Structures are given as structure tokens and as C-alpha cells.
């Protein structure tokens, strides 16, 4: 994901109510998005991406392109989890979000996947960085681009 | 916990300042509530429930009813941890909170219990879903109903 | 860190927009601060402390005093991680922040260090309490005092 110029940063703007509101609103957006995924509502989850959304993840051969392909990939992953009797919870945190001149937002956060087998102990399955380009839509946000980088595959 | 109609959702409303404020205020509420519990202030922790508050948790035979019973249960759990020389930290995250027509709020979040034995390594003790009915009180909030569902006991 | 009188608490004030804004703004501040540290920008990370900032951590023989000493300590820790081929992610959460009469803020949160070895599985390296005195600077905040207490070294 290119490091583009943003319209706000650490300075003056991040103390403003608008920046605070955006931070809280995006936390809510991510909470809702991940609750959908983790509860198996993969179709609804895919609706939080744009129609032409792209999902790239380290460890996957190629980015997944388009909402229906994203939905299908999530469904397949879910069915595998169900067969393995494992519950996944996606925790996103340590979010920074910077509006860009075109109205989109560049968001960067940490993401953990907590895996709990039926009758077993929870453990951290993955620790990752999640970088999104978010675009406004219908009073909320949609993900146009997502890049997930696994810490275990990060360059030394 | 019944899925009731809420007055806001993913759409227009969640971008509004009021929704952003509620999100931040409830995060603060939960942070304070859990800091009380984890620091052993079980009596003060119980004060964050209504007098007739109900705490239901998967893995427990029956819900705990009423503030004083909730306080007693927390105190007993704490004494057991102290004897075992284990520190618990409750992390709540991925919060969604929706106001309802009656002024209460339906909140849903993920909750982890991180356990660290004296001189040992931390580990995730539990991964759960926490669903609350919150009611306004004295400018803050109280929990009227809490339902905690453990991921290890979730239905496949 | 002394328990000083704060100008707001659980009550009326914590429902106010100003308190909500502060909560969101400080979450953003911590996210940015920890992203700097974890990405190896230790010099920029040290700039989030005051020139005379103090960093005290249980398990260390003495507090680190002053921005340049803080930067040097962070750089040394980073180089050790790089040699060990381990990625650290600092997660801060469960934040409470209370303004004090002098304009500073007393912040308390939980902090986890998630460690992921190259090619290996993530695990919780540390579970801690982080207590900060924050002071306003250039529209953002700086850490004047930080005290980190490890749960594994906490008194039973």
C-alpha cells in the first residue's frame, strides 16, 4: 500500500473533535465487520467491501478481487473452521486513520486472530498488520483495499 | 439475550457524533469496570451493575442475580486467584453498542481473560462474547443484564 | 505513581462529549506511539516523550531518564529483537484517562506485548499495567512519566 499524503497527522488536527469522532466511528465499523465475519455472516461481511474491493494477505498466492470472490473465500474459510470445530475471533486494535484529500481514509491497525477449539484453550493464531483504504458510502464506510501482513512472515 | 430492534445500526446514524461519543464513553465505562474487577475492588465493581442486575455465564449452573450476589461471586473468584497467585486482566474489545427506544443500550463485545501466574508467562485463559443491557444512571451507565458465552463451549 | 485528585471521574463528566473526545484522541495517540515503536522508528517514538520524560518499568534496575536515553534504550531493545528474528506488537487497551487541574492527564491502561518469531507462532510475551502522566504539546500529547508494571512480578 503506497504511503500517500494525508490531510491530518499527529499534530494539531488529531486533537480535534472531528478526528476523535472518526476514530470512534471506525472502531465501531471494524467491530461490526469482524462480528459479522466471526459469527459466520460471511455474505453480510462481504458487503462491507466495495463491489470491486481487493483483499490481499501475505501467505495467499494472489489478492482476492471483487465482493463475490471475497464472500466465497470467507465462506470456504468458515466451513473449514466449522469442520475443525474451532472458533475464530478477530481483534483489531491500535488503529490510526488519516483522511486523504479524495475523501477516502487510510487506516492502519493491528489484528489478532484468537482461535479456540471446542473444549480447548484459546491461543493467538495470527498476529498481523491490517492496512485499509476506506471509502465513504451511505453514511458509513466500505473497504476498497485491504492488505494483511502476517508478523510470522515479516522480514527480519 | 433477545435480538431486539435498535434505533441505530450500521447506516447513517453510526457516523453521527452522538454515536461516536457513545462508543467512546462505553469503552471508558468498560475500562473502568474491568480495572475495578482486576484490581480486586470487587465491591466497587458490583456497583457498576443495577441493584437487580443479572450476570449469566456459560459454564455456570445458573445466573447470579442481584448486586450483592454479584459482589460475593466476584470476591470468591478473587480470593481463589490470590491463593493460586495468578493475575487476571479482562480485555474487552470489538464493541458494538446500539441505543434502544427505552433509553437502554444493547452492547456486544469480545472479552478475553489474560492470566499471568506469579513468575510465569501470560496466556489467554478465556475467549468469550459479552452481551450487556446497559441503562443510564447518574450520567454514566449500569449493567442490568450480562450474558457471557465462552468460545470453548460454543456450538460447532 | 501517586493517586492524585482528578477533575473528572466515573460520574457525570464521563458522559460528556469532551470526555469522549479525549478518550478517542488518546487511543489514537497510543496507537501512533506503539506503531512507531514496533516498526522500529525508535527515534520518532522517543519524540512522544517530553525532553525530560521518565520511563520506569518493573524488571529494570532503574528508570530511564530523558528523551535521548529513552531513544537509546528502545534502539538497543529493537536491535536485540532483530537479531532474535522476533516481531513485537504492543497492544494497549482498557484505557482510563482523567484530566488533572494542571492540564495534564493521568492515564492508566493494560498493555500486552505480542511476540511472533519469524516462521513461528505468536504468543503473549508480557501482560502489564501502563500508567502515564501526559502533558499537552502542540495540539497533541507527550508522555512525561510512564510506569509499566509486569503482571508476572505483581505482588500476590
Q: pLDDT tens digits for A128-142?
A: 999 999 999 999 999
Flag if B24 and A29 touch (Cβ within 8 Å): no
Mean pLDDT of A79-107: 98
- Testing the interface with A: which of C17, C31, C117 to mutate, by most A Cβ within 10 A? C31
- pLDDT above 90: residue A64: yes
DSSP-derived 3-state class of residue B134: strand
- Testing the interface with A: which of C28, C35, C93 to mutate, by most A Cβ within 10 A? C28
Question: pLDDT-based confidence at C155, cuts 50/70/90?
Answer: low
- pLDDT above 70: residue B111: yes
User: Which pLDDT value is given to residue B4?
Assistant: 42
- Testing the interface with A: which of C20, C81, C87, C97 to mutate, by most A Cβ within 10 A? C87
- Decide if A107 contacts A132 (C-beta within 8 A): yes
Report chain A's mean pLDDT, rounded to a whole number.
Answer: 90
User: Which pLDDT value is given to residue B135?
Assistant: 98
All residues of chain A having their beta carbon less than 8 Å from the beta carbon of residue C91 are 93-94, 110, 112
Dist CA C114 CA C89 (whole Å): 5
User: Which pLDDT value is given to residue A16?
Assistant: 62
Flag if C140 and A109 touch (Cβ within 8 Å): no
Tell which residue, C81, C29, C28, C74, has the closest CA to residue C55: C74
- Which set of grid coordinates corresponds to residue C74? 528502545
Angstrom CA distances, A153 to A90, A147, B27, B135, C85, stand at 19, 14, 32, 45, 11
Strands (E), A11-152: 49-57, 64-65, 86-99, 105-117, 123-137, 140-150
Report chain C's mean pLDDT, rounded to a whole number.
Answer: 90
- pTM for the model stands at 0.91
Flag if A94 and C31 touch (Cβ within 8 Å): yes
- pLDDT above 90: residue C5: no
Q: How far is B18 from chain C (nearest CA, A)?
A: 8
Which residues, 6+ apart, have CB-to-CB distance to B11 below 8 Å?
A138, A139, A140
Flag if A127 and C124 touch (Cβ within 8 Å): no
Mean pLDDT of B50-70: 96
**Considering all CA atoms of chain C, what is the largest pairwise distance in Å, rounded to the nearest integer?**
50
Flag if B109 and A31 touch (Cβ within 8 Å): yes
Mean pLDDT of A117-130: 98
All residues of chain B having their beta carbon less than 8 Å from the beta carbon of residue C107 are none
Flag if B114 and C94 touch (Cβ within 8 Å): no
CA B140 to chain CA centroid, Å, is 15
Flag if C152 and B30 touch (Cβ within 8 Å): no
All residues of chain A having their beta carbon less than 8 Å from the beta carbon of residue B99 are none
DSSP H/E element including B150: strand B140-150
User: Which pLDDT value is given to residue C59?
Assistant: 85
Residue of A nearest to C88 (CA): A151
Amino acid at each position: 500500500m503506497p504511503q500517500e499524503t494525508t490531510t491530518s497527522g499527529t499534530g494539531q488536527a488529531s486533537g480535534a473533535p472531528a478526528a476523535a469522532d472518526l476514530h470512534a466511528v471506525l472502531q465501531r465499523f471494524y467491530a461490526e465487520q469482524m462480528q459479522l465475519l466471526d459469527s459466520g455472516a460471511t455474505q453480510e461481511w462481504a458487503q462491507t467491501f466495495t463491489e470491486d474491493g481487493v483483499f490481499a494477505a501475505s501467505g495467499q498466492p494472489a489478492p482476492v478481487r471483487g465482493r463475490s470472490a471475497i464472500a466465497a473465500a470467507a465462506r470456504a474459510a468458515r466451513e473449514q473452521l466449522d469442520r475443525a470445530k474451532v472458533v475464530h475471533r478477530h481483534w483489531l486494535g491500535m488503529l490510526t486513520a488519516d483522511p486523504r484529500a479524495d475523501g477516502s481514509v487510510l487506516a492502519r491497525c493491528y489484528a489478532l486472530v484468537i482461535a479456540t477449539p471446542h473444549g480447548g484453550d484459546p491461543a493467538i493464531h495470527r498476529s498481523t498488520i491490517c492496512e485499509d483504504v476506506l471509502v465513504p458510502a451511505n453514511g458509513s464506510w466500505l473497504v476498497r483495499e485491504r492488505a494483511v501482513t502476517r508478523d510470522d512472515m515479516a522480514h527480519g
